Amino acid sequence: MIFDIPIQAFLGQLLIGLINGSFYAMLSLGLAIIFGLLRVINFAHGAQYMMGAFAGYLLLATFGIGYWPALILAPLIVGLASAVIERLMLSRLYNLDHLYGLLFTFGLALVIEGTFRYYYGSSGQPYAVPSALAGGYNLGFMFLPKYRGWVVLASLLVCLGTWLLIEKTKLGSYLRAATENPTLVRAFGINVPLLLTFTYGLGAGLAGLAGILAAPVYQVSPLMGSNLIIVVFAVVVVGGMGSILGAVITGYLLGLLEGLTKVFYPEASNIVIFVVMAIVLLIRPAGLMGKEA
């Protein structure tokens, strides 16, 4: 017992917090990458997350393709579809104020979600946990479902892999340089427009990957993204716009904070992240790990 709270309840909420935090981290990572290079606040990120979950669901329902191949295919499908949208539409707005990119992706999210709702309705479709990850472990003080442990592990691997890609590879050095000075990088002979398309596809693909990971945890529904994305935007604001490390760390921390709030003061659990966001905006507008403008 801690403060009259049973330890099981405490650890259970901590685990739920960690799982939510895993999704916040993956989603805010994609948003931060897109914002860093494209300066676009990608409001379609929630829709792309939903598309990832639906891609997994439809691959199974239509072609009988199971979870493990879908884990690769769903992010690829979402990433490629988003890259096409960037090339054909979003890229035409870069010369304008950043507000237009935000409005475009907001509209895009409404169109995508509306289309899925028209065909699949608002109610969720179940997506079974893969058999290899069914069941769980009895840790003595609590029961850990295997799949939830896998989500936390997968999210850590995705965040670490993306960080390595950006910080330690040649491609990552192009991304970092183009974030600082795209014109000069282009003058050096690097195809920056293609790099922007790739980056948008990468960010959206990360959202799609989060979506397929989420499918067995939450249900697959057209609005699953819009419920989540507002929280993720708060995470990005707290972490600092464009800060990749800030997005990831803040994602996990705020997930845990949300879980803890459910234990100690459940009434505030839905708003605690936004309270933190408001405080951070007042005290440190650039975010906890963002560069002061």
Partner 1 sequence: MTDPTPLLRVRELNAWYGEGHALHGIDLDVHEGETVTLLGRNGVGKTTTLRAIMGIIRKRTGSVSFAGRNMMQVPLHRTAHAGMGFVPEERGIFASLSVDENLHLPPVVAKGGMSVKEIYRLFPNLEERRHSPGTKLSGGEQQMLAIARILRTGARLLLLDEPTEGLAPVIVQRIGEVLVTLKKRGMTILLVEQNFRFASKVADRFYVIDHGRVIDDFDAGQLPDRMGRLHEALGV
Kindly list the residues in this chain that would bind partner 1 in the complex (CB under 8 A): 170, 173-174, 176-177, 179-181, 183-193
Q: Are 112 and 225 in contact (CB under 8 A)?
A: no
Question: Which phi and psi (to 5°) does residue 286 adopt?
Answer: -80, -5
Give least dist CB 192 to partner 1, A.
Answer: 6
Q: Cβ closer to partner 1: 192 or 210?
A: 192
Q: Cβ closer to partner 1: 57 or 198?
A: 198
Q: Which of 225, 234, 171 is nearest to 37 (CA)?
A: 171
Which residues are bridge partners to 136 per DSSP? 145
Give least dist CB 82 to partner 1, A.
Answer: 22
Q: Cβ closer to partner 1: 179 or 250?
A: 179
Give least dist CB 178 to partner 1, A.
Answer: 9
Q: Cβ closer to partner 1: 48 or 197?
A: 197
Buried b (16+ CB within 10 A) or exposed e, 214-244: bbbbeebbbbbbbebbebbbbbbbbbbbbbb
Give least dist CB 187 to partner 1, A.
Answer: 5
Instruction: Give CA–CA dist 11/5, Å, rounded.
Output: 10
Contacts of 44 (CB under 8 A, 6+ apart): 82, 105, 106, 108, 109, 112, 204
Q: Which of 122, 97, 99 is nearest to 224 (CA)?
A: 122
Q: Cβ closer to partner 1: 64 or 189?
A: 189
Give least dist CB 232 to partner 1, A.
Answer: 24
Give least dist CB 91 to partner 1, A.
Answer: 14
Q: Which of 267, 268, 256, 239 is nearest to 152 (CA)?
A: 256
Q: Cβ closer to partner 1: 81 or 178?
A: 178
